[in-house]
Structure 1
Amino acid sequence: MSRTQNRRSAIRNILAGTAALTTSTMLPSLACADTSRGGALKGNINHSVCRWCYSDLSLDKLCAVAKEIGLKAIDLVGPNDWDTLKKHGLDSSMCNGAEINLTDGWNSRNYHDQLIKNYTEMIPLVAKAGYKNLICFSGNRRGMDDETGLNNSAEGLKNVMALAEKHKVVLVMELLNSKINHKDYQCNRTAWGVELARRIGSESFKLLYDIYHMQVDEGDVIHSIRDSHPYIAHYHTAGVPGRNEIDDTQELYYPAIMKAILSTGFKGYVAQEFIPKQEDKIASLKKAVEICDV
């Protein structure tokens, strides 16, 4: 997968069923992977992986890989694929499919009617499947100031909070960087997301703290996690710079970050969301999980 691959196009391809099923260059790594730890993880972190990062594997194959490594879930999977996850005994750690896209979100009243309809339909499905987290997005600013975006987002989201609370589903807004990957995205600072959560005032609204994105846009990752953890339901990983492997070629030290997350009492999922650039992509995933398994 090209390191310049766009996340939104990858997700779109998956949902449309156009992702290639070629696995010949990826699966052999399972046979030659380092098994010195016997495949056993420590159990302190609930590990997951984002579906879109391995879109050249069928979901069946990705589930098999996940089970082999010791993952408990697949991230960013919609209703059409939940049966596949259940077949493999894996959780859907972050459901999707109710959002319009990453740019047209809750910060604009223009999209409230459609979003309220989408989430009203999806929330019961998530609950019926036995899942908990459903992703959402602020959308782009388009010249909008922070206060207007906060007011609009809170106004719109409050229309579905009672339903989410009833079904014990959490709407989780992702923090994305607007410097490199998602120009003009509004929820690009932890403080903005936390303020939105405070205004909504419900345990059914939380944040997805993407470690890569927040390192790019604001840094001070461990401090932010410690200060804002009551509002965080989920984490994503990737290396900085480049959004590739989380190894010693990049500036973030993930063992310390994972220890900081654990110190907050976090019991949710940490999902790998890096774009593998090494030839053996499964070995990269396995290594990333081991690095984060503190």
Structure 2
Amino acid sequence: MPRFAANLSMLYPEHDFLDRFAAAAADGFQAVEYLFPYDYSAQQLKQRLDDNGLVQALFNAPPGNWAAGERGVVSLPGREAEFREGFDQALEYAAILGNDRIHVMAGLLASEAARARHHATYLENLSHAATQAAKVGVTVLLEPINTRDMPGFFLNQQDQAQAVCKAVGMANLKVQFDIYHCQIVEGDVATKLRRDFAGIGHIQIAGVPDRHEPDLHNELNYPYLFELIDQLGYNGWVGCEYRPRGNTSEGLQWMRDWQAR
């Protein structure tokens, strides 16, 4: 059975962020993930994890100026020092929180004419990050993101991400397979899960097209995909990164039904 992690950046918006840990635990989650931890001290977050018996599954490295619209700096020429300093900070948080997965957002591409230059920067920064992360047993993750939610994002397709990992050639650099993004960009989700399984380091889920619960009210057959994930032997966390239609706990009936099978 897939092991589900609550994404606290999206789930439980009815609670203040630090109160979402207890809410997730009360609903039966054993792990959490979220976008960024940096508004809080690592010790504060670790206390919430410990108080509620939760595992930290994942968070993102600093993304640049999020409020100004930046969505990662790892592929941005001229921002190498900023990326590396931010990744060091992410490793410091991971050492305290206990997670062994860090996602680095690729960033936005201003124009296709700049792609080759961005790609070279991307490979160089990823090689550095994976080398540093390997020293402490951490896996670095890349995530293709759909262009509807994030226009201009550098990385959009699964084969593109897998090719980047192969080019860097580090065993601890893997792809974060978000089923929602994959379905919107290219579809054929099950085939891509099978094809790329060896290079997948984390899985996330949400209903399509509206990024709500992964239940029967969306275009994907999630019970089929959950069975496939089990058949493939995936033993990592599956991040529930969706926007609840209403109350988060009430909307988790899909998970209760699956776990009761």
**TM-score normalised to structure 1 length:** 0.78
Match for residue 244 of structure 1 among 212, 215, 223? 212
Quick check: 120-129 or 151-160, which moved more? 120-129
Gaps of 5+ in 2: none
Distance of aligned partners of 1:291 and 1:148 in 2 relative to their CA distance in 1, 3 Å threshold: farther
List aligned pairs for 1:265-280, cutoff 5 A. 265-278=233-246, 280=247
Residue 141 of structure 1: aligned partner = 109
Residue 9 of structure 2: aligned partner = 52
Residue 224 of structure 2: aligned partner = 256
Gaps of 5+ in 1: 1-43
- Return the offset for 1:138: 0.9
Distance of aligned partners of 1:144 and 1:46 in 2 relative to their CA distance in 1, 3 Å threshold: same
List aligned pairs for 1:100-115, cutoff 5 A. 100=64, 101=66, 103-115=71-83
SS of residue in 1 equivalent to 2:110: coil
Over the aligned positions, Cα root-mean-square deviation in angstroms equals: 2.0
Contact 1:254 1:292 in 2 (8 A): no
List aligned pairs for 1:1-294, cutoff 5 A. 44-53=1-10, 54-76=12-34, 78=37, 79=42, 80-100=44-64, 101=66, 103-144=71-112, 147-178=116-147, 180-278=148-246, 280-284=247-251, 286-290=252-256, 293=259
- Looking at structure 1, the residues matched to 209 and 237 of structure 2 have their Cα atoms a distance apart, in angstroms, of 23
Amino acid of the residue matched to residue 49 of structure 1? Answer: A
- Looking at structure 1, the residues matched to 107 and 95 of structure 2 have their Cα atoms a distance apart, in angstroms, of 25
Quick check: 197-206 or 164-173, which moved more? 197-206
Distance of aligned partners of 1:82 and 1:144 in 2 relative to their CA distance in 1, 3 Å threshold: farther
- Looking at structure 1, the residues matched to 121 and 258 of structure 2 have their Cα atoms a distance apart, in angstroms, of 37
- Return the offset for 1:147: 4.7
- Return the offset for 1:65: 2.8
- Return the offset for 1:214: 1.0
Amino acid of the residue matched to residue 160 of structure 1? Answer: A
Amino acid of the residue matched to residue 223 of structure 1? Answer: T
- Looking at structure 1, the residues matched to 45 and 236 of structure 2 have their Cα atoms a distance apart, in angstroms, of 21
SS of residue in 2 equivalent to 1:70: coil
The count of aligned residue pairs is 248
Distance of aligned partners of 1:104 and 1:62 in 2 relative to their CA distance in 1, 3 Å threshold: closer
SS of residue in 2 equivalent to 1:250: coil
Contact 1:141 1:184 in 2 (8 A): yes
Amino acid of the residue matched to residue 183 of structure 1? Answer: P
- Return the offset for 1:261: 1.6
Distance of aligned partners of 1:237 and 1:51 in 2 relative to their CA distance in 1, 3 Å threshold: same
- Return the offset for 1:105: 2.3
- Looking at structure 2, the residues matched to 227 and 217 of structure 1 have their Cα atoms a distance apart, in angstroms, of 17
- Return the offset for 1:230: 1.4
Amino acid of the residue matched to residue 287 of structure 1? Answer: Q
Contact 1:254 1:291 in 2 (8 A): no
- Return the offset for 1:281: 2.5
